Chain A
Amino acid sequence: MEELDGEPTVTLIPGVNSKKKQMCFDWGPGEMLVCETSFNKKEKSETVPGCPFIYIIRKDIDVYSQILRKLFNESHGIFVGLQRIEEELTGKSRKAQLPCFLSLQDAPCSCCMSFHFCRLVRVSKNYRSVIRACMEEMHQAAIAAKDPASGRQFSSQVSILSAMELIWNLCEILFIEVAPAGPLLLHLLDWVRLHVCEVDSLLADVLGSENPSKHESFWNLVTILVLQGRLDEARQMLSKEADVSPTSAGMCRILGDLMRTMPVLSPGNTQTLTELELKWQHWHEECERHLQDGTFASSPHLESLCKIMLGDEAALLEQKELLNNWYHFLVTRLLYSHPTVKPIDLHFYAQSSLDLFLGGESSPEPLDNILMAAFEFDIHQVIKECSIALSNWWFVAHLTDLLDHCKLLQSHNLYFGSNMREFLLLEYASGLFAHHRPSCLSSDCCSLWQLGVDYFDYCPELGRVSLELHIERIPLSTEQKALKVLRICEQRQMTEQVRSICKILAMKAVRNNRLGSALSWSIRAKDAAFATLVSDRFLRDYCERGCFSDLDLIDNLGPAMMLSDRLTFLGKYREFHRFYGEKRFFDAASLLLSLMTSQIAPRCFWVTLLTDALPLLEQKQVIFTTEQTYELMRCLEDLASGRPVRGEPGAQRLQEDIENTKLEMLRLALARNLARAIIKEGSLEGS
């Protein structure tokens, strides 16, 4: 059971009164509200605080968010690609029919695995190059910064990114490439060289000067070249010195020779490790001999260089400033004393290097602990320390995911049985969802949450439910955004979220009296009850104004009409109007009749329907047959009899009067139509 690592750091809210110590707060999707208050529930407060403030607090990635966004976007692409590689691989093994494309075996064989392995290394390098690109941009921003404060922020972000890349690179060497003894050192050398960039500029400086060997930093340069194992370049420098200084020419040549002859493992070299060790031992002894003989005694610089090449700890430690950090010290030390170091032995040297370098004067920083954990091959410790040291989840989430694909993480059950990879990815993705604030100007920014969707997709245990909770909270500020969100939900069969979102939009539309919009959202939500409600509103609107709004929508309902009876009625009723408009009177008539007889017409609407029949009844030609007319009459009487006699004063009476007049008119029209219909049907039609 591990202990708490210490109190977390405190963020001060400027302006908050330290005497008023109580606060109420609320979480939002991306922010938190905090407000000073007093929690003793007396009616009157003793001290009137004046004008209290509300504080809005959120995670700060504003300043460099533009640049980081690129990091998030590009790494998202790499992440998704990596998941697909994995799917491909496991997919291949599960399909018995599909043999390995190289060796015709059913299971992924070693060639597939090494191909896969190469791909993983490439993915790692891709991630690193994305970090480096981000670093470079951030660096440019730091230089171009308008004020020192933001310049400082950019610079500090650059250091953080640099540290991330440093760690990732080491993890790549140790955990992903899994370099064995021999190549291990070469990789570590590359690693160190990559992260100390002043050397090249210094080299250019010195070489570019008139008299390189008289340059004030000449010896520093040569030393650091030796420290980095760049012996060819160091030798070149020495020859320059030899050129101008005849007295030390001889020594320079000898040292140069030693440099040239140091046995190194070159890639593609076929010698075994043992052969190399043997050769190296001889060479080491030769260097030792020169030192004992005092070959370089008259030049302290050269002697110091020789000692370095012998891996003399004291000599190396004298160069602390040039080495700059303990891991550089470690790698140099290994280069010149244990070049064939095995991975499992690394941590001994690492620990002692750290101790020697710090010399008890200072204690290790978080970065040191992380690197040490890596040298100890304690992946979990690396991840844990990184999580603590870094303020966002990006790094640990992606690194852990990659290591998981390398099958390096044993399943450690956390809360809900989620493993560590998933835990970190969920955290990262949740963080992405918090960033959909509309405070930026470009159109597709604040779409970081869309990246988050993919991360949730690849979290098998809690990804789906986390996505459901988060996606509901995306503010639906524009129709475009709403459609985007809905599409994502529909693709994943998140039916409840679709329903809920559509309902929210439908409700909003109804409140704003945009009935067409409300209707289409209700249909999409498959919410029959609400569709009925909106249809009712449409019909009421029609009764009041005599025309429909949103005709396009109602005309094109299609099969969605079936969602609710009222909706069907609305659609059919509109169809009736269309028929009439197109003078398809017979169609209109039968539709009208079916509307009345099929019971889908709300009773309160019958008067309107019957009134709509009037123009048809008034036509020159007889439209309604006798049958139809009888039906209509029956409906009319039904309606009239069903009406309760109400003895209410005033307006009601007037309404009743109007209604009665209408009914009379209808009776008259129907009777007349009946007469004409009978005559028409009874006579012989000539054509």
Chain B
Amino acid sequence: MFVARSIAADHKDLIHDVSFDFHGRRMATCSSDQSVKVWDKSENGDWHCTASWKTHSGSVWRVTWAHPEFGQVLASCSFDRTAAVWEEIVGESNDKLRGQSHWVKRTTLVDSRTSVTDVKFAPKHMGLMLATCSADGIVRIYEAPDVMNLSQWSLQHEISCKLSCSCISWNPSSSRAHSPMIAVGSDDSSPNAMAKVQIFEYNENTRKYAKAETLMTVTDPVHDIAFAPNLGRSFHILAIATKDVRIFTLKPVRKELTSSGGPTKFEIHIVAQFDNHNSQVWRVSWNITGTVLASSGDDGCVRLWKGISFPLWIPHGLDRDGPVMPSSFLLLLLLW
């Protein structure tokens, strides 16, 4: 059912992240060889590397695309304690013919004192904004007020998480009912460190991000975290990659019941916990409509989880090691 094709990546060291652009026509890879490569998909479906350049002076952990409304913009973060924003410059016609493009650095974000472990652009309705998180436990939110001038970024918020951070996720919901929200995961392994997932919410009155919730039940190191796209739900869904795959719902408690002006209180429920990987789960990622969750773990598998009925989630289809079998996928319709 699934077909795989391979491309020689040409990185000289481990690849740490791969990222599709919004339309799935370009991708970026970043590596311990300190470079980022950009690949373009041609009309006939082949991928070509159209740019490759040194981005940092240390391993590049993550690379991510901005929404195309802001142009062709990438952000990367690295062990060298910096994050950077890159913009593609439309090249000379010779370059175009050769299929090459140029990326220039627009800004370097140097505020972190430790390795920057994740960088994510905010949902587009918030403007051109990104968040970084570092091993020093601080999440930093930057904004470029003029989208035509990508050299100007200002540090808008510094959020202290008190634990070494490994991953962040913006809530993609653009509903006016929801304030901007960011989830932070920590892989801190020190013994005092307790709850490893924190949720911060922007408060219109104080104009600051304040901690809204901590997921107390997640006590193992968290490697990845992802809010699901919201199709009009009032509540939020968050997937977490830790020693297993966990999916939580966060339901905002009605404002009248909480003291007005404070962060929203949420009812937190765990709706699924899958240990099928039988090992640490390293990445989780949602599809466009938030109906399928993909996870990868130490067992060398990428698993796809299909949300059928609430609250049961079922795996459907795997990749990777194992005997080749004609695949079918498993779908359980829960009817009651």
Contacts and interface: CB of A to CB of B under 8 A. Distances in A.
Interface in B105-122: 115, 117
Interface string B323-336: 11111111111111
A49 B10 CA distance: 11
Contacts of B264: none
Contacts of B310: 414-416
A24 interface: yes
Contacts of A26: 17-20, 27, 285
Interface string A9-30: 1111111101011111111111
Contacts of A388: 328-332
A9 B20 contact: no
A295 to B, nearest CB: 52
A4 B314 contact: yes
Interface stretch (B177-185, B196-204, B212-220, B225-233): B225-233
Range of interface residues on chain A? 35 or more
B12 to A, nearest CB: 8
Contacts of B275: none
B59 A54 contact: no
A52 B9 contact: yes
Given A12-B322, A34-B302, A60-B1, A420 B333 contact: yes
A583 interface: no
Contacts, number: 293
B258 interface: no
Nearest to B1: A391
A460 interface: no
A81 interface: no
A387 interface: yes
A534 to B, nearest CB: 10
A11 B1 contact: yes
A55 B2 CA distance: 12
A538 to B, nearest CB: 15
Nearest to B316: A8
Interface stretch (A109-117, A300-308, A464-472): A464-472
Given A41-B61, A437-B45, A13 B328 contact: no
Contacts of A35: 9, 15, 18, 29
A427 B331 CA distance: 12
B285 A25 contact: yes
A508 B70 CA distance: 9
Nearest to A20: B300
Interface string B14-30: 11111110111101010
Contact of A12 (B7, B72, B289, B323): B323
Contacts of A6: 330
B71 interface: yes
Nearest to B87: A511
B152 interface: no
Interface string B273-301: 00010011011011111010010111111
B332 A51 contact: no
A383 B333 contact: yes
Contact of A57 (B3, B8, B285): B3
A33 B65 CA distance: 15
A18 B300 contact: yes
Contacts of B25: 475, 477
Which of A11, A41, A58, A383 has the most C-beta atoms of chain B within 10 angstroms of its own C-beta? A11
A245 B301 CA distance: 69
Contact of A507 (B71, B323, B331): B71
A200 B69 CA distance: 63
A34 to B, nearest CB: 6
A27 B32 CA distance: 22
Contact of A28 (B20, B325, B327, B328): B20
A156 B328 CA distance: 14
B4 interface: yes
Contacts of B335: 380, 384, 412, 420
B250 to A, nearest CB: 16
Contact of B1 (A39, A41, A59, A462): A59
Contacts of B124: 500
B200 to A, nearest CB: 23
B209 interface: no
A35 B298 CA distance: 13
B44 A13 contact: no
B259 interface: no
Nearest to A23: B296
Interface string B57-72: 0110100000011111
Contact of B298 (A21, A466, A533): A21
By CB atoms of chain A within 10 A, which of B43, B117, B233, B328 has the most?
A: B328
A325 interface: no
A427 B44 CA distance: 26
A505 to B, nearest CB: 9
A474 interface: yes
A546 B192 CA distance: 70
B8 to A, nearest CB: 6
A261 to B, nearest CB: 49
Greatest chain B CB density within 10 A among A23, A49, A58, A384 is at A23
Interface in A35-63: 35-39, 41, 43-45, 48-49, 51-60, 62
Contact of A16 (B13, B19, B320): B320
Contacts of B314: 4
Interface string A501-543: 0011001100111000000000000000000010000000000
B266 interface: no
A54 B289 contact: no
A556 interface: no
A177 B218 CA distance: 54
Contacts of B15: 24, 35-37, 52, 54
B282 A22 contact: yes
- Most chain A beta carbons < 10 A, residue from B19, B29, B298, B320: B320
B148 to A, nearest CB: 6
Given A5-B332, A49-B14, A416 B58 contact: no
Given A13-B4, A25-B283, A473-B24, A39 B223 contact: yes
B231 A8 contact: no
B205 interface: no
B117 A21 contact: no
A216 interface: no
Interface string A206-220: 000000000000000
B18 A474 contact: no
Nearest to A10: B322
Contacts of B331: 384, 387-388
A31 interface: yes
A2 interface: yes
Contact of B294 (A32, A412, A473, A511): A32
A430 interface: yes
A390 interface: yes
11 contacts: A5-B332, A9-B327, A18-B321, A24-B16, A24-B282, A26-B20, A41-B59, A45-B13, A380-B333, A438-B43, A438-B44
**10 A-B pairs closest in CB distance:** A28-B24, A439-B45, A10-B322, A60-B3, A28-B20, A21-B300, A475-B23, A29-B24, A8-B330, A13-B4
Interface of A: 1-2, 4-16, 18, 20-39, 41, 43-45, 48-49, 51-60, 62, 156, 380, 383-384, 387-391, 412, 414-416, 420, 423, 426-427, 430, 437-439, 462, 465-466, 469-470, 472-477, 500, 503-504, 507-508, 511-513, 533
